[in-house]
């Protein structure tokens, strides 16, 4: 049985322009100790999917229209708030992109760090502080005992993200959801943070959902990948399969347009146009208007995600019907 089993998750927002389905019929599983990459461009729904699992979607204007998310026999989407609170921040933790906004500027680092411990584990302050110091040392912050008394503004961006990671891991969660945790950081700091998450994951056997738009990080960091486009999962599979045996034109096009893989001077491959507005989605495949392999039937009805190779699924009609070879 998987650690987390998400089925048919649909999250909608009611806006003046109409109903926006930010996450549309998304299903995936997460095994113990595994790293799942959620990839997509801005607006593809990768963050909202995570927010939905954590119960962080403001309702209204948001609404979880359908779906279940089973974690240890408990549905995270439909349950009473008290029971969810005993899971959130204890057994499932989340870290966000901007470390400054997830820390309270008025509180000392130490007080924020041990807050989850005081709430979730009935321990006294002194033990909590000791564990807080140990947690800071674990993420590589020197002089941890002294640093517990510092305020967030006294830390650099990379150090703040370390604090946030320490805070997320202090209750020893089984799942860590990381929403673009290194996007705001420089590459040399990013390398430090990724290495840190990886080593902590190994020593604690925790599962990670890693949200990112950077395929480079995915290739280095994830076991399995979910590629999202316009709120839907268009392809999912093992990381090597995603890169070497793409089963959806969007995934292939995305990889071809990355400058890192192209020699200098050669014109970069580009995907024409821009992602569709979520209020005016085309009736068929959402990628159809930009797809170079599009045929008439692609535009007619939505395409479900089906397995096209063992352990590798695609939402491309032409790949499913064997008309298209992408690799």
Partner 1 sequence: MAKKPETLLEVRDLKMHFPVEKGLFFKHQTGAVKAVDGVNITLQKGEVLGLVGESGCGKSTLGRTIIQLLRATDGTVVLGGENLGKLTGGRLRRERAKFQMIFQDPYATLNPRMTVRDTLAEAMTAHERIPRAKLDPAVRELMAKVGLPASAMNKYPHEFSGGQRQRIAIARALAVKPQLIVADEPVSALDVSIQAQILNLLAQLTREMGLTLIFISHDLSVVKHISDRIAVMYLGKIVEVGPTLQVVEKPLHPYTRALISAIPIPDPDREQLRQRIILSGDPPSPIDPPSGCAFHPRCPYCIEPCKGRPPILVQYVSHQLAACIRVGEI
* Cβ neighbours of 117 (radius 10 Å): 21
Q: Tell me how many residues contact partner 1 (CB under 8 A).
A: 45
Residue 261 engages partner 1 in binding (rule: CB under 8 A): yes
Q: Which two tokens stand for residue 99?
A: 């470390």
Question: For 280, how many CA atoms within 13 A lie in the half-sphere containing its CB?
Answer: 5
Cα(251)–Cα(4) distance, integer angstroms: 25
| Closest listed residue to residue 26, CA positions, set 315, 326, 318, 316 | 315
- From residue 216 to residue 235, what is the string marking binding to partner 1 with x (rule CB under 8 A)? xxxxxx--------------
Residue 199 engages partner 1 in binding (rule: CB under 8 A): no
Among 187, 292, 310, 322, binds partner 1 (CB under 8 A): 187
Residues in the chain: 327
Q: Which two tokens stand for residue 140?
A: 């590589």
Residue 311 engages partner 1 in binding (rule: CB under 8 A): no
Residue 15 engages partner 1 in binding (rule: CB under 8 A): no
- Find out whether the peptide bond into 10 is cis, omega within 30 degrees of 0: no
Smallest separation (angstroms) from partner 1 to the CB of 120: 31
Residue 31 engages partner 1 in binding (rule: CB under 8 A): no
Smallest separation (angstroms) from partner 1 to the CB of 109: 16
CB closer to partner 1, 159 vs 211: 159
Q: What is the C-alpha R_g of the chain?
A: 21
Residue 167 engages partner 1 in binding (rule: CB under 8 A): no
Smallest separation (angstroms) from partner 1 to the CB of 114: 25
Cα(255)–Cα(58) distance, integer angstroms: 34
Smallest separation (angstroms) from partner 1 to the CB of 155: 10
Residue 153 engages partner 1 in binding (rule: CB under 8 A): no
Q: What are the strands of the beta sheet with 74-75, ordered from one edge?
A: 18-30, 4-15, 62-71, 74-75
Q: Which two tokens stand for residue 176?
A: 């860590």
CB within 8 Å of 99: residues ≥ 6 apart: 157, 160, 161, 163, 164, 184
Among 16, 58, 106, 260, binds partner 1 (CB under 8 A): 260
Among 195, 300, 307, 323, binds partner 1 (CB under 8 A): 195
Residues in contact with partner 1 by the rule CB under 8 A: 41-42, 156-159, 186-192, 194-195, 213-221, 239-240, 243-244, 253-255, 257-262, 264, 267-271, 274-275
């Amino acid at each position: 049985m998987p650690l987390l089993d998400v089925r048919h998750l649909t999250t909608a927002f009611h806006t003046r322009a109409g109903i926006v389905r930010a996450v549309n019929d998304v299903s995936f599983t997460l095994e113990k100790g595994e790293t799942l990459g959620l990839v997509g461009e801005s607006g593809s729904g990768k963050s909202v999917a995570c927010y939905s699992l954590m119960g962080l979607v403001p309702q209204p204007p948001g609404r979880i229209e359908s779906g279940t998310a089973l974690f240890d026999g408990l549905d995270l989407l439909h349950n009473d708030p008290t029971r969810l609170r005993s899971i959130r921040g204890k057994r499932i933790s989340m870290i966000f992109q901007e470390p400054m906004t997830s820390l309270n500027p008025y509180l000392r680092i130490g007080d924020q760090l041990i807050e989850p411990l005081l709430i979730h584990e009935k321990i006294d302050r002194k033990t909590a502080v000791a564990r807080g110091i140990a947690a800071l040392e674990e993420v590589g912050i020197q002089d941890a005992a002294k640093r517990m008394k510092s305020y967030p503004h006294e830390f650099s961006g990379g150090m703040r993200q370390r604090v946030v990671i320490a805070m997320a891991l202090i209750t020893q969660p089984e799942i860590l959801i990381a929403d673009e945790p290194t996007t705001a950081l420089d590459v040399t700091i990013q390398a430090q943070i990724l290495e840190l998450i990886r080593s902590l994951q190994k020593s604690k056997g925790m599962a990670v959902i890693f949200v990112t738009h950077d395929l480079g990080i995915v290739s280095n960091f994830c076991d399995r990948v979910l590629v999202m486009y316009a709120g839907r999962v268009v392809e999912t599979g093992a990381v090597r399969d995603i890169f070497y045996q793409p089963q959806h034109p969007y995934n292939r096009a995305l990889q071809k347009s990355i400058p890192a893989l192209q020699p200098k001077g050669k014109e970069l491959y580009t995907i024409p146009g821009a992602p569709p507005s979520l209020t005016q989605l085309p009736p068929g495949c959402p990628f159809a208007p930009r797809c170079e392999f599009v045929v008439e039937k692609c535009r007619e009805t939505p395409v479900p995600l089906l397995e096209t190779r063992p352990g590798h699924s695609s939402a491309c009609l032409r790949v499913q019907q064997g008309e298209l070879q992408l690799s």
